Amino acid sequence: MRGVKIPGATEDAPRHPPDPAAAEMVPRPRAVARLREDDAMSAPQIARPSARAGEGWTPEIERLLGEWHRRVYAAQSAYYLVAERLRRRHYYLGIPTVILASITGTALFTEIGQDHVSRAVGLVAATVSLLAAVLAGLQTFMRPGQVAAEHGFAGDWFAAIRREIEQLQALPRETRGTPKECLDSIRKEINKASQKAPELDESLWANSARRFGVTEPPMDSSKLTSP
């Protein structure tokens, strides 16, 4: 006699097909990770100040910055002073030259229609013409107007560097940036201005440096007298 198969005794119970709606409700591992990344990106980012902001500005660096400020201020003042002197010299030479040249031309024009010219008038005309030629030659050789413009440009350059240093000193240390970058930028600008600017008289620079408290080594008088 053959045995009767009893449901569930020798085989598994029938399985129901999975519900698609329930499967969609269960998040997969990758979807969970993606959801966490999206939440992290959408969350408000709080800006935390850098722990190293404002660090590095030691008292030595502040003293160096102040020394550069005084030195640049002294150079600005000296170049402006020389530019003003040369501008006045340009007028002192140019205005008499124009006046004397006009007088000479007028005297020569009046002598054209005369048959006899007195010796005194001719001597005066020759003297005035000679003076006008000398003044014109001095003005051409010394070029006070052009040199004054060059010194004025140098003074403007050093004035711009001075304002940059003053702005840096007025800013909080947290917003200045790194000390090395700031000092390198100012140092390069000072070197560039010093190379392009015309030379200053030694005594004039000494007086300007003393006025602004710039420490300079004493001048060696032997170098000034030696050939």
Q: What is the average pLDDT across 82-92?
A: 94
pLDDT in tens, 169-182: 999 998 999 999 99
Whether residue 117 is contained in a domain is answered as: yes
Which helix (H) or strand (E) element contains residue 163? helix 144-170
Q: How far is CA 14 from the centre of its chain?
A: 87
In a domain, 219, yes or no: no
115 has pLDDT over 50: yes
Question: What is the rounded distance in angstroms from the CA atom of residue 109 to the CA atom of residue 103?
Answer: 10
| Per-residue model confidence (pLDDT) at position 49 | 38
Owning domain of residue 127: 59-212
> What pLDDT shows up at residue 123?
78
Compare 173 and 222 and report the one with higher pLDDT.
Answer: 173
Overall domain count for the chain = 1
Rounded to an integer, what distance in angstroms lies between the CA atom of residue 158 and that of residue 160?
Answer: 5
CB 89 within 8 A of CB 138: no
**Tens digit of each residue's pLDDT (9 = 90 or more) over 123-143:** 777 788 888 888 888 888 989
Q: Pick the closest to residue 80 from 19, 162, 176 (CA basis).
A: 162
d(CA 77, CA 70) in angstroms, rounded, equals: 11
Please, what is the end-to-end C-alpha distance for the chain in angstroms?
142
Phi and psi for 17 in degrees, rounded to 5?
-65, 145
In a domain, 47, yes or no: no
Q: With respect to residue 52, please indicate whether it lies within any of the assigned structural domains.
A: no
Stretch 94-114: mean pLDDT: 75
Q: What is the mean pLDDT of residues 151-172?
A: 96
Q: Say if 3 falls within a structural domain.
A: no
DSSP state, residue 57: -
Would the pLDDT of 29 be above 90? Answer: no
